[in-house]
Amino acid sequence: MSFTSKIKTEISKQKYNRLEQISLLSGILKNEIVEETIKIQTENKDVANLIFNLFRENYKIIPKITVRKLYNYNKNLIYIIDITKKQEIIEDLSLNKINPSDYIIDDDNLIRSYIKGVFIAKGSINDPKTSRYHMEIVVDNKEYSELINNILNQYKLNSKILKRENKYMIYIKEAEKIGDFLRLIGTTKALLYYEDIRIYRDHINMTNRLNNCEQANVDRIIKTADDQIKDIELIKKYGLELLSEKEQLAAQYRLKYKDASLQELSEIISLETNQKITKPGLHHRFDKIKKLAQKIREKEHQNE
């Protein structure tokens, strides 16, 4: 069972009062009117049972359910639910207009129930274990996509709309916001699974970034030391006496400790000579060595 299917199963098994059931059913059935019937298809048995029970309990109607086997790799079953179109149901559930009636989204609980229904019919969330973070709801109508987007952003979910061929996708990319959406629809099991994976992935990513940063620092230390050694070797050809005593001391210790960082080298010199030298002080000495080496190179180039 996919992560999205698990979420929809969890929604289907939640408890709803009479008004919440109407809001939920309205969200599920929006844009599902086909000619003379209200028709919805789902591969989720729990969702099919939910819709069947919602019609039976609220409208005393027994929907027609057809079960077919899909000709895909897994040969999943698909449940097709048909309800003969009745005008009072369409009007009661606000299926014939973009904006639901006030009583469908009159308070926070009803709005959440409505969004649950919309997600059951049109939504999906990528499994955080196997792919990038992505949540989407795909609808047919631009105005309706704006309505859903506005509702989601009332909860600061930072959702956006993208036109996809002749449909409109309301989507969320931020990992934390997808977690907030799962909180919004009350799917506790899915949220715990999602957050466990997200925290684990964030930890791995942070570890990788730290390792990359540490490696970059090591590479930079090695290059800096290598450049300093090249400068010193060049000056040695003409005599280290060209350097001051302090600069000669720095040069001698660099040649002795070729892989040491400036911080390590400053500590070694301080310990072995009993002369306190800080990292900035040592950097200043090597800067003077570098400038002298550059002058020598320029002079050698002129004499070629």
Domains, the chain, with CATH or none? 3-186 (3.10.28.10), 207-303 (no CATH)
pLDDT (0 to 100) of residue 84? 78
Of the candidates 155, 161, 158, the residue with the CA atom closest to the CA atom of residue 186: 155
CA distance linking residue 67 with residue 74, whole number of Å: 15
Confidence of residue 35 (pLDDT cuts 50, 70, 90): low
Q: What is the pLDDT of residue 73?
A: 60
Mean pLDDT of 107-132: 91
- Burial track 249-270 (b if 16+ CB lie within 10 A, e otherwise): bbbebbeeeeebbbeebbbebe
On average, the pLDDT of the chain sits at 87
The pLDDT, as a whole number, for residue 74 is 62
Dihedral through CA 13, CA 16, CA 21, CA 25, nearest 10? -30
In SS3 terms, 182-223 reads as HHHCCCHHHHHHHHHHHHHHHHHHHHHHHHHHHHHHHHHHHH
Contact 111, 152 (CB under 8 A): no
Taking 80 as the threshold, does the pLDDT of residue 304 lie above it? no
pLDDT confidence of residue 236: 87
Higher pLDDT, 122 or 199: 122
Between helix 279-303 and helix 245-256 the angle, nearest 10°, is 90
Report which secondary-structure segment, H or E, holds 114. helix 108-122
According to the model, what pLDDT value does residue 5 have?
Answer: 92
pLDDT at 300: 82
pLDDT for residue 299 is more than 90: no
pLDDT for 22 beyond 90: yes
Tell me how far apart the terminal alpha carbons of the chain are, to the nearest angstrom: 76
DSSP 101: P
Q: Is pLDDT of 150 > 90? A: yes
Structure tokens, 82? 């048909």
Q: At what angle do helices 188-236 and 279-303 cross, to 10 degrees?
A: 50
User: Beta strands 33-34 and 135-139: pairing type?
Assistant: unpaired
Average pLDDT of span 55-62: 88
pLDDT digits (tens, 9 = 90+) for 243-273: 898 888 988 888 888 888 888 888 888 888 8
Residue 78, Cβ neighbours under 10 Å: how many? 15
Task: Please state, in angstroms and rounded to a whole number, the distance separating the CA atoms of residues 268 and 277.
Answer: 9
* pLDDT of 66 over the 70 cut: yes
Helix H or strand E segment including 169: strand 167-172
d(CA 17, CA 34): 28
More confident residue, 97 or 114: 114
Would the pTM count as exceeding 0.75? Answer: no
Question: What pLDDT, on the 0 to 100 scale, is given for residue 213?
Answer: 75
Predicted confidence (pLDDT) at residue 34 exceeds the cutoff of 70:
no
pLDDT > 70? residue 287: yes
Torsion angles phi and psi, residue 81, rounded to 5: -110, 120
Cα–Cα dist 78/69, whole Å: 6
Q: Which residue has the higher pLDDT, 229 or 208?
A: 229
